């Protein structure tokens, strides 16, 4: 009896302490429960050595006190199931001891029944205890899971707060970067317009020497035919003063003067067209497309580019090959823009042949070919081919990029081909392609829709 009571008290105290975590939650109760454990141990020792009936009532009081505390005290409510487990055993033991004191005869009569009842109470206690432990473990797992979920929830909440803060900071940073990019883009557009104008002026500078050479020829003709015409007029005046005037000679002189005036008009118009072309080339306003003779345009800019290069380098010489389609007709283009494209291609072609000539290749003759053709698929093709040094395959896909150039520093802006590509593809909805073999040739092909 005493050993069973001791074990019950010991496990009840342990169960309460573990279930309620009294060491953390109720430190005062935890100290009392520890004292109860020590008291139960001392009572068991006294029972063994003293063999007194008085101790059994102390066990009853201790058990009843434990169950009562578990059932009545607010802090112990979570362990009320102790009453269901221990209650039957305590009642049977208390009833048995009371009957033994007050009526030993009855006690002897029902002792076997009381022993059986006590055994069943112990079985009930053990079964309830095992079930309670299982429930306790399940509740503990649930509690741990709930705590983990709460902790996870707190972590997620903290992360959300941090993410919101980061998003706000990132949004502010992106807004600032957007404003800076817009400002930079505006500055880049302004710089681009300035660079484009600079490229136009640079190409205009390249034309100056060629224009001077080309315009000098018609001016020389104008001057020469004017002087001859003045002499013819003086000769005509003298002939008219003579008494024996030769009317046939006068008619011949008048015919010569008329022919000279026609030649003066022709070469004057030639000089006028050169000046107009130069003015168009330097325009900054948005031009309009108009029917243009591409054969004449290509011929004029080829000669201007060639004579411009020769003006800077007297030793340079190249063969010009022109193959123009007589049936090409007028093509609607922006003449000054297309002239700028042709000038860039011609200048690059002459530069490539000059660079190859400088290598001292024996028997090499710089040659630039220009051809026009109306294709069967309703396109106009302009081909500019040179037998220069070609374009390396490594940089072929970069030649249309702004500011990319293979020329030495100071000899190229890197905008010529980029602007030419935009003029052909965006301004005229055409195509600008290149075929090249390093060390042998380069051919640019302009295709314009008719």
**Which CATH number fits the domain that encloses residue 427?**
3.30.565.10
Number of other CB atoms surrounding residue 201 within 10 Å? 12
Which residues are CB-neighbours of 229 under 8 A, at least 6 positions away? Answer: 257, 260, 261, 264
User: Hey, what are 24's tokens?
Assistant: 């953390």
User: Hey, what are 179's tokens?
Assistant: 């404003």
pLDDT band at 333 (very low <50, low <70, confident <90, very high): very high
Report whether pLDDT(50) > 80. no
Report whether pLDDT(431) > 80. yes
Rounded CA separation 212/218 (Å) = 11
Which residues are CB-neighbours of 291 under 8 A, at least 6 positions away? Answer: 330, 331, 332
Does residue 161 fall inside a structural domain?
A: no
Which range, of 87-96, 234-243, 342-351, averages the lowest pLDDT? 87-96
Residue recorded with tokens 């004579």: 307
SS3 content of the chain, % helix, strand, coil (to 5): 75, 10, 15
Rounded CA separation 334/423 (Å) = 9
pLDDT band at 437 (very low <50, low <70, confident <90, very high): very high
Which range, of 3-7, 322-326, 386-390, averages the lowest pLDDT? 3-7
Residues 61/94, Cβ–Cβ less than 8 Å = no
Note the pLDDT of residue 371: 95
Report whether pLDDT(70) > 70. no
Distance of CA 227 to the CA centre of its chain: 71
User: Hey, what are 140's tokens?
Assistant: 């503990």
Of 104, 130, 156, which one is at a domain's C-terminal end?
A: 156
Which range, of 105-119, 240-254, 319-333, 409-423, averages the lowest pLDDT? 409-423
Does residue 77 fall inside a structural domain?
A: yes
Rounded CA separation 36/13 (Å) = 8
Rounded CA separation 447/380 (Å) = 5
Does residue 179 fall inside a structural domain?
A: no
Please state the pTM of the whole predicted model.
Answer: 0.46
Of 156, 184, 204, which one is at a domain's C-terminal end?
A: 156
Note the pLDDT of residue 413: 59
List Cα–Cα distances, 368 to 137, 142, 374, in angstroms: 96, 90, 21
Percentage, residues of the chain above pLDDT 70: 76
Residue 126 or 73, more confident:
126
Rounded CA separation 26/269 (Å) = 115
Report whether pLDDT(210) > 70. no
Which residues are CB-neighbours of 424 under 8 A, at least 6 positions away? Answer: 341, 430, 431, 432, 446, 448
Note the pLDDT of residue 342: 92
Query: What end-to-end distance do the CA atoms of the chain give, in Å?
Result: 118
Of 117, 140, 156, which one is at a domain's C-terminal end?
A: 156
Please choose, from the candidates 83, 36, 80, 76, the residue with its C-alpha nearest in 3D space to the C-alpha of residue 58.
Answer: 36
Note the pLDDT of residue 284: 46
| Mean pLDDT, residues 437-442 taken together | 92
Which range, of 178-192, 243-257, 330-344, 369-383, averages the lowest pLDDT? 243-257
Residues 269/222, Cβ–Cβ less than 8 Å = no
Does residue 162 fall inside a structural domain?
A: no
Rounded CA separation 435/415 (Å) = 20
Does residue 70 fall inside a structural domain?
A: yes
Rounded CA separation 180/5 (Å) = 84
Residue 82 or 297, more confident:
297
| Mean pLDDT, residues 131-143 taken together | 78
Q: Kindly report the average pLDDT of the chain as a whole number.
A: 79
Does residue 258 fall inside a structural domain?
A: no
Report whether pLDDT(438) > 80. yes
Question: Residue 419 sits in which domain range?
Answer: 287-450
pLDDT band at 76 (very low <50, low <70, confident <90, very high): low
Report whether pLDDT(165) > 80. yes
Residue 93 or 428, more confident:
428
Rounded CA separation 432/412 (Å) = 20
Does residue 331 fall inside a structural domain?
A: yes
Look at the chain and report how many structural domains it folds into: 2
List Cα–Cα distances, 339 to 72, 104, 294, 330, in angstroms: 107, 137, 9, 15
- The Cα diameter of the chain in Å comes to 197
Identify the top-confidence range among 259-273, 319-333, 408-422.
319-333
Please choose, from the candidates 36, 24, 98, 113, the residue with its C-alpha nearest in 3D space to the C-alpha of residue 69.
Answer: 36
Q: Are residues 150 and 291 in the same domain?
A: no
Please choose, from the candidates 379, 357, 378, 369, the residue with its C-alpha nearest in 3D space to the C-alpha of residue 443.
Answer: 369
List Cα–Cα distances, 221 to 210, 229, 275, 356, 371, in angstroms: 17, 12, 17, 37, 29
CB-side neighbour CA atoms (13 Å) of 324 = 15
Does residue 171 fall inside a structural domain?
A: no
Note the pLDDT of residue 285: 45
Cβ burial of 95 (10 Å; 0-12, 13-18, 19+) is: middle
Which range, of 40-54, 123-137, 215-229, 436-450, averages the lowest pLDDT? 40-54
Residue 397 or 218, more confident:
397
| Mean pLDDT, residues 346-365 taken together | 89
Residue 361 region by backbone torsions, left for phi larger than 0, else alpha for psi between -120 and 50, else beta: beta
Note the pLDDT of residue 384: 96
Sign of the four-CA dihedral 435, 437, 439, 440: negative
Residues 283/336, Cβ–Cβ less than 8 Å = yes
Residue 21 or 31, more confident:
31
List Cα–Cα distances, 353 to 244, 302, 318, 347, 363, in angstroms: 65, 14, 8, 10, 13
């Amino acid at each position: 009896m005493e050993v069973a009571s001791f074990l019950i008290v010991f496990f009840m105290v342990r169960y309460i302490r573990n279930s309620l975590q009294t060491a953390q939650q109720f430190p005062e109760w935890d100290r009392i429960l520890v004292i109860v454990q020590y008291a139960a141990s001392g009572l068991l020792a006294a029972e063994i050595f003293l063999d007194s009936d008085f101790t059994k009532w102390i066990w009853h009081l201790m058990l009843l006190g434990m169950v009562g505390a578990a059932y009545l005290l607010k802090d112990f409510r979570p362990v009320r199931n102790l009453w269901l487990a221990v209650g039957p055993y305590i009642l049977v033991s208390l009833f048995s001891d009371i009957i033994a004191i007050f009526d030993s005869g009855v006690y002897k009569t029902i002792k076997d029944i009381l022993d059986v009842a006590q055994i069943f109470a112990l079985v009930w206690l053990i079964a309830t205890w095992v079930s309670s432990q299982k429930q306790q473990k399940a509740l503990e797992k649930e509690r741990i899971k709930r705590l983990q979920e709460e902790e996870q929830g707190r972590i997620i909440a903290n992360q959300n707060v941090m993410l919101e803060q980061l998003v706000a900071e990132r949004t502010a940073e992106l807004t600032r970067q957007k404003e800076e990019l817009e400002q930079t883009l505006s500055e880049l557009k302004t710089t681009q317009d300035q660079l484009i104008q600079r490229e136009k002026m640079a190409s205009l500078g390249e034309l100056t020497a060629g224009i001077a050479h080309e315009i000098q020829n018609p001016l020389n003709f104008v001057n020469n035919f004017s002087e001859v015409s003045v002499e013819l007029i003086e000769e005509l005046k003298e002939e008219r003063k003579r008494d024996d005037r030769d009317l046939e000679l006068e008619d011949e002189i008048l015919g010569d003067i008329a022919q000279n005036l026609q030649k003066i008009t022709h070469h004057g118009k030639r000089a006028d067209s050169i000046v107009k072309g130069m003015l168009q080339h330097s325009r900054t306003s948005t031009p309009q497309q108009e029917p243009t003779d591409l054969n004449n345009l290509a011929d004029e800019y080829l000669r201007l580019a060639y004579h411009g290069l020769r003006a800077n380098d007297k030793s340079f010489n190249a063969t010009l090959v022109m193959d123009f389609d007589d049936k090409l007709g007028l093509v609607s283009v922006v003449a000054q823009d297309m002239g700028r494209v042709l000038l860039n291609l011609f200048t690059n072609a002459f530069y490539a042949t000059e660079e190859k000539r400088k290598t001292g290749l024996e028997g090499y003759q710089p040659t630039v070919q220009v051809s026009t053709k109306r294709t069967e698929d309703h396109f106009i093709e302009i081909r500019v081919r040179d037998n220069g040094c070609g374009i390396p395959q490594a940089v072929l896909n970069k030649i249309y990029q702004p500011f990319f150039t293979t020329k030495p520093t100071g000899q190229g802006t890197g905008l010529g081909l980029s602007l030419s590509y935009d003029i052909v593809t965006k301004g005229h909805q055409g195509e600008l392609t290149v075929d090249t073999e390093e060390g042998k040739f380069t051919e640019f092909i302009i295709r314009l829709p008719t």
